[in-house]
Amino acid sequence: MFSDFLNNVYGMLFEPKKTIEKLSEKPEVFQSVLLMIFISFFLSILFFGVGKNIFLFLFFSIWICFSSVVWWMLLAAFYELVANIFVQKSKYKSVLCLLSFCLLPWIFMAPLELLKNAGVCGSFIGIYGELALWIWTGVLMFFSLKKVYELKALRAFLFLILPFIAGVVSLNLFISFIVNIVKIFS
């Protein structure tokens, strides 16, 4: 099982097409949950540091891991909902698995964060390196959604950005609601 996990990690980083095909056919949900928790914990250490108050650090780390897993499941459920409406294919486990493996490039975030503190050149490399990691993750998600739901390129791209569009629209509606409530009671 552990060698399977390492093969999936290596494959997603260096042979993504083959690994995406493998994980879409036989999703490894347990591995993806562990990977999601590991990446969340790793990023909480990176951005918050351990510091002097270990209890506060542990609380925030556990909270970040829990909320990351919840958001990851909700994102996969959103994709599944949209897919059931438009594509009529239910592959929740495959999407869940592939979305977590798509976050693997984020393990390179730590060295890039350290480079940001190394002067102008290091900061330049760190910022553009992090941008490249975001693009790399987006491309992996694009190909994963394209493979799982057997979509053409344009539909896969629209499918990929749909949650972000829905989030912006929802935020706009929420802010409008709050503004109207404030106007009513003022």
pLDDT digits (tens, 9 = 90+) for 19-73: 999 999 999 989 999 999 988 888 887 777 666 678 888 888 888 889 999 999 9
pTM above 0.85, yes or no: no
Tell me 104's DSSP state: G
Torsion, Cα 53 59 64 67, to 10 degrees, reads -160
What are the pLDDT digits (tens) for 1-23? 677 889 999 999 999 999 999 99
What distance separates the 2 farthest-apart alpha carbons in the chain?
63
In 3-state terms, what secondary structure has residue 92? helix
Are residues 99 and 31 in contact, defined by beta-carbon separation less than 8 angstroms?
no
What are the pLDDT digits (tens) for 163-186? 899 989 999 999 999 999 999 987
DSSP per residue over 105-140, as a string? GGGGHHHHHHHTTSHHHHHHHHHHHHHHHHHHHHHH
Are residues 39 and 133 in contact, defined by beta-carbon separation less than 8 angstroms?
no
> How far is residue 80 from each of residues 27, 33, 77, 96, 118, measured CA to CA in Å?
15, 18, 5, 9, 43
Share of the chain residues as helix, strand and coil, in percent rounded to the nearest 5: 85, 0, 15
